[in-house]
């Protein structure tokens, strides 16, 4: 066999393996509107608020600064920006350091919070940035609106740690919060799992793992703009590149890379097949999961992943709903209370959680 023939065979194999084994199931059926209330849009004929426009300009300026930096400095710049975005803000909640079986964390306790009602919050940041501190503007309000103790964990980040370590930390924290509150060992009476972006991915993966492990199920899971599909196959991944102010600049480059190369890169970088449900919850078994609420912007690339998830979940018998807002930034809820659209989003979360406690249970939402 000649070197040229051998090289061609290697290329063919490298192309066929992703096509046959790494792309996951075809989920296009869940792009169809079935006429149900699975997806609810909060359209505003007046367009985005002035507050949103101002914040979007600030985020756009940050992104431009980051992209001008050398690659080696971009991650530290992003981490610093996230940690200091709300520097100096005063919160009603108290923040209490915690050790969740070796996972660094903090309890977020609004005045009057019930220590037996708990939220496990998993922050976003592309699995490489963010912390319990950077997301206090979400966890503080979560504690207030639900009267619950919020445990925000600092799972291990990439690239210093492999992706599987962050997943392991979330699982450890899940087991721990079932039996431990802010005042010590005590049972949980209500448990909500939540996260944004990368944290939303971890949250939805986590509740499926808890089901498979036979652990006490969460009473609900709430995800803000979660990443759900490592194959990047839904229509909005390409259709919303230009309208997604935060993710668009990154993905516009990524999507120019051939799919087979992206698949191998994902495997090498994360040590997971891109369609593995551990990292792409959309491809997993979505039956017998907690009532699920996903909020996502209609302008972002992750829109159709959220729609696909809730439609597949409902087809599997799980109560799930997606709430969408036009024009919004990725994870705009973090800008509560300044942004009117963030206030509306948290009102919907409050209504969703109230529905869980009503006599009608999950069906109330």
The model's pLDDT over 167-181, given as tens digits with 9 standing for 90+, comes to 999 999 999 999 999
Catalytic residue among 132, 134, 197, 234: 197
For 159, list phi and psi in degrees, rounded to 5: -85, 0
Lowest mean pLDDT among 49-63, 98-112, 156-170: 49-63
pLDDT tens for 305-338 read: 999 999 999 999 999 999 999 999 999 999 999 9
> Catalytic site residue 300?
yes
Mean pLDDT of all residues belonging to the chain: 90
* Residues 322 and 296: beta-carbon distance below 8 Å: yes
Which residues pair with residue 149 across a beta bridge? 109, 118
Q: Is the pLDDT of residue 222 over 70?
A: yes
Backbone Cα Rg of the chain: 20
- The pLDDT of 256-280, averaged and rounded, is 81
Catalytic residue among 52, 123, 319, 330: 330
Pairing of the two strands 148-153 and 103-109? antiparallel
330 has catalytic annotation: yes
pLDDT tens, position by position, 70-115: 988 999 999 999 999 999 999 999 999 999 999 999 999 999 999 9
Lowest-confidence segment of 108-112, 197-201, 272-276, 342-346 by average pLDDT: 272-276
Neighbouring residues of 238: CB distance < 8 A, sequence distance ≥ 6: 255
Read off the pTM. Answer: 0.91
Query: Which member of 144, 300, 341, 348 is catalytic?
Result: 300
Sketch the domain layout of the chain as residue ranges: 28-364
Give the separation between CA 301 and CA 142, rounded to whole angstroms.
Answer: 25
- The CATH superfamily label for domain 28-364 reads Alpha/Beta hydrolase fold, catalytic domain (3.40.50.1820)
Residue with tokens 């990368």: 198
* Best mean pLDDT range from 22-26, 213-217, 252-256, 271-275: 213-217
- DSSP state letters, 121-153: EE--STTTS--TTTTHHHHHHHHHHHTEEEEEE
- Determine the Cα–Cα distance for residues 88 and 84; give it in Å rounded to an integer: 9
């Amino acid at each position: 066999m000649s070197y040229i023939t051998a090289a061609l065979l290697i290329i063919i194999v490298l192309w066929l393996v992703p096509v046959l084994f790494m792309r996951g199931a075809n989920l296009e059926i869940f792009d169809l509107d079935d006429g149900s209330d699975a997806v609810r849009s909060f359209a505003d004929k007046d367009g985005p608020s002035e507050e949103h426009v101002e914040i979007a300009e600030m985020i756009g300026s940050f992104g431009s600064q980051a992209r001008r930096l050398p690659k080696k400095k971009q991650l530290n710049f992003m981490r610093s920006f996230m940690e200091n975005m709300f520097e100096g803000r005063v919160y009603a909640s108290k923040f209490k350091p915690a050790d969740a079986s070796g996972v660094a964390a903090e309890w977020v306790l609004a005045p009057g919070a019930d220590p037996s009602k708990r939220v496990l919050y998993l922050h976003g940041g592309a699995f490489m940035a963010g912390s319990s501190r950077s997301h206090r503007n979400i966890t503080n309000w979560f504690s207030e609106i639900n009267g619950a103790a919020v445990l925000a964990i600092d799972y291990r980040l990439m690239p210093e740690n492999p992706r599987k370590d962050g997943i392991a930390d979330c699982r450890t924290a899940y087991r721990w919060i079932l039996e431990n509150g802010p005042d010590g060992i005590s049972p949980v009476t209500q448990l909500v799992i939540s996260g944004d972006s990368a944290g939303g991915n971890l949250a939805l993966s986590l509740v499926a793992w808890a089901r498979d492990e036979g652990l006490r199920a969460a009473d609900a899971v709430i995800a803000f703009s979660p990443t759900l599909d490592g194959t990047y196959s839904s229509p909005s991944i390409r259709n919303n590149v230009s309208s997604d102010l935060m993710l668009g600049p990154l993905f516009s480059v990524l999507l120019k890379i051939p799919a087979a190369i992206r698949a191998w890169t994902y495997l090498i970088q994360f040590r997971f097949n891109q369609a593995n449900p551990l990292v792409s919850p959309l491809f997993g078994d979505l039956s017998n999961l907690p009532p699920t609420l996903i909020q996502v912007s209609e302008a972002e690339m992750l829109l159709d992943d959220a729609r696909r998830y809730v439609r597949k979940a409902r087809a599997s018998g799980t109560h799930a709903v997606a709430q969408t807002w036009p024009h919004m930034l990725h994870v705009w809820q973090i800008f509560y209370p300044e942004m009117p659209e963030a206030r509306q989003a948290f009102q919907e979360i409050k209504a969703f959680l109230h529905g869980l406690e009503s006599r009608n249970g999950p069906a109330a939402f």
